[in-house]
A and B are shown apart, each in its own frame.
Chain A
């Protein structure tokens, strides 16, 4: 049997294992749904401002589709109707925000996860492979970064850098690489003593080549699983920052900042507050389902690749 065909059967067996698990199927289905919403956002919620007309009398196109247009001047929440299926809050259409917020969530989550994981892999590989004083110094630095609560650190750095989702992403990356670094270091320490690594060393293969070709492929899976499980919590943290009024600017299509709008309506007046349920429910549900999708996928991957934890 050729090497390629063997890989294929292996892959197929893994896939079958994943899709036998109903919660994994649900996770992937949800994820695909969100990907479709993100890709077709311009078709699902057209980026136009009905309040402003161009020369031909058609509604004007938005310069920046991520800034939700103000479509009514009443700031009180307006319940769902046929035109605005999720209702309106602060003059903005909730449906529009939920749809375009999907893109924001993917953008923030993927960027931060990828960059911080790569940085963690870099630090962890150097630390684990070389050991000695390099390891000692890098690991103590990691300890220091780990002893600052993530949310607080992200809050401080975002405030210092100023508002904007790019600032949130920088802040979360600066304080988000330590998990991956520790994990990859621990795995490398284990793999380092294996015969095939010692053999390549004896043959005089360069360090860089050994790490890239032999060590990383054998240690990368746990890191990828951890990364997919972190996607959810990163999106929660980013939304939490927006909710606190840091991060995404006012009116940005972001689930967290839409919930920030609802804060005053819920804490302010009592009694009739429950009639604003849709303002919390739709953006909140979008967030819960998004995070749930990533958690289910991460769980499924872990079940397959790390049979120790059931």
Chain B
């Protein structure tokens, strides 16, 4: 197990290197002129003469060969300097770290209904196989799976914001934002809603909650379906096993057969899926954050991509790939812990 973990961790720098090389090369398609635009204020940029442009290209090292420029970026990155983020108006690393808690908070809130309801409905569908309830849940799941996130998000906004006025877009209201930014508000976990509770500010907590419910409903509606289907098929497989029949034959109550004997074993593949989901929620909130106008790492990445701010794009992609590799490693370890039959090697 230890060798397995070490081997996977050794792979991490290799993947990070590969990812940065891909993104860095993609940006070379733009050519030095457009790359320069990322450094210069757009209002000034159009008025510059061609000589001034050449001087600036020289200054930012855009005339150097590709390998040298990548080397410089890599050397700086290793020292912890990922460059300046135009979109984040701060150093890239700082912009990423300051936005990460918002995305994490959203992912955590979305995970609770997804896992709870997804597993519950999946088990229910498997137990009532091919009956009305099963058919209904399956149709619900496949329709949910077919909804593009932005279509569903727009519908939620339309109903809960425009018509009912319950869940406004954004991260916090103006007044709550000011309280959170003030000196007296202690940032302990950096998750706004939790910090608000710890500071005893119920009004801020309620405000944060109101803003997060819309995106949480949207995310969970889309991800329920996936978990539900895995739970259902895993449950069906376990229910047809010999030991379940034995349990029934010796007179164990149906409730215990399903929830004690079958469900525990059926949960093994579900753990993997739930893990993948956490990774997916951390990196899959781009469109949700844009629609609901929330602060977060997905929004940062989206804005950077649209404005070709390549220092930020490189930074966020690297961040995502690290999350992905570490996340997958943790899932594999958990898998071995939950299922003693699995050997990592």
Asked if B233 is at the interface (CB within 8 A of a chain A CB), the reply is yes
B305 and A155 contact, CB distance less than 8 A: yes
Complex: A141 Cα to B21 Cα, angstroms: 11
Residue in A closest to B147 when the chains form the complex, CB atoms: A288
Cβ-defined partner of A152 (8 Å) among B157, B163, B236, B316 = B316
User: B288-323 CB contact bits vs A (8 Å, 1 = yes)?
Assistant: 001101000000011001101000010011001100
Assembly CA distance A80 to B284 (angstroms) = 35
Interface assignment of B6: CB less than 8 Å from any CB of chain A? no
Segment from A12-20, A88-96, A259-267 that makes contact with B = A259-267
A270-B305 contact in complex given A140-B14, A239-B148, A280-B154, C-beta closer than 8 Å: no
Contact residue among B154, B293, B305 (Cβ-Cβ distance under 8 Å from A284): B154
The answer to whether the Cβ of B84 comes within 8 Å of any Cβ in the partner chain is: no
Closest Cβ–Cβ distance, residue A226 to chain B (whole Å)? 15
Taking CB atoms, residues of chain A closer than 8 Å to B159 are: 274
Known: A144-B22, A145-B22, A147-B324. A159 touches B287 (CB 8 A): no
Separation in Å of the B139 CB from the closest CB of chain A? 7
User: Is the pair B19, A270 in contact by a Cβ cutoff of 8 Å?
Assistant: no
Report if B39 contacts A (CB, 8 A).
no
- Considering the chains assembled together, what is the distance between the CA atoms of A25 and B78 in angstroms? 56
Given known contacts A144-B19, A244-B306, A271-B162, is B148 in contact with A266 (CB within 8 Å)?
A: no
Q: Would you call A262 and B29 a contact (CB within 8 A)?
A: no
Chain B residues with CB under 8 Å of A236's CB are: 148-149
| Distance in angstroms between the alpha carbons of A274 and B163 in the assembled complex | 6
How far apart are B192's CB and chain A's nearest CB, in angstroms?
Answer: 22
> Quick one: which of A23, A244, A296 contacts B287, CB cutoff 8 A?
A244
**Contact of B70 with A by CB under 8 A:** no
Q: Is A70 an interface residue (CB 8 A)?
A: no
- Does B284 contact A149, Cβ atoms closer than 8 Å? yes
**Nearest chain A CB to B252 CB, angstrom units:** 24
Determine the distance from Cα of A232 to Cα of B151 in the docked complex, in whole angstroms.
Answer: 14
Contact A155 B165 (CB under 8 A): no
How far apart are the CA atoms of A263 and B151 in the complex, in Å? 10
Q: Determine if A292 and B19 form an interchain contact, defined as CB atoms under 8 angstroms apart.
A: no
If the complex has contacts A236-B148, A244-B290, A284-B155, are A152 and B22 also in contact, measured as CB distance less than 8 A? no
Closest A-chain residue to B307, C-beta based?
A: A159
> Which residue of chain A has the shortest Cβ distance to B301 in the bound complex?
A152
Q: Tell which of B284, B302, B320 touches A155, judged by Cβ atoms closer than 8 Å.
A: B302
Chain B proximity of A305: nearest CB distance (Å): 15
The A-contacting residues of B in range 230-249, CB under 8 angstroms, are: 233, 236-237
Q: Evaluate contact between A147 and B19: CB separation under 8 angstroms.
A: yes
How far in angstroms is the closest Cβ of chain B from A103? Answer: 18
| Complex: A135 Cα to B11 Cα, angstroms | 16
**How many residues on the A side are at the interface (Cβ–Cβ under 8 A)?**
49
The answer to whether B151 touches A284 (Cβ under 8 A) is yes
Is A228 interfacial (CB-CB < 8 Å)? no
In the complex, the answer to whether B305 meets A287 with C-beta atoms within 8 Å is no
Query: Complex: how many Å from CA A267 to CA B290?
Result: 11
Q: Are B158 and A280 in contact (CB under 8 A)?
A: yes
Is A138 positioned at the interface, with any CB of B under 8 Å from its CB?
Answer: no
Contact B30 A267 (CB under 8 A): no
Partner of B162, one of A159, A161, A273: A273
Question: What's the minimum C-beta distance from A235 to chain B, rounded to whole angstroms?
Answer: 8
Judge whether B286 is part of the interface by a CB distance below 8 angstroms. Answer: yes
**B133 interfacial contact with A, CB 8 Å:** no
Determine the chain B residues whose CB is within 8 A of the CB of A259 once the complex forms. 150-151, 154
Quick one: closest A residue to B163, CB to CB? A274
Q: Is B337 in the interface zone, CB < 8 Å from A?
A: no
Task: Say if the beta carbon of B334 comes within 8 Å of chain A.
Answer: no
Q: Is A199 an interface residue (CB 8 A)?
A: no
B306 cross-chain contacts in A, Cβ below 8 A? 155, 159, 244-246
Docked-complex contact A144 and B151, CB < 8 angstroms: no
Q: Which 7 A-B pairs have the closest CB atoms?
A: A144-B18, A273-B162, A147-B321, A292-B146, A284-B151, A291-B146, A155-B305
A-B contact pairs, 7 of them (CB 8 A): A140-B18, A143-B15, A149-B286, A156-B305, A244-B306, A274-B163, A284-B155
Q: With A144-B19, A159-B306, A240-B149 given, name 5 new contacts (CB 8 A).
A: A152-B302, A240-B148, A263-B154, A284-B154, A289-B146
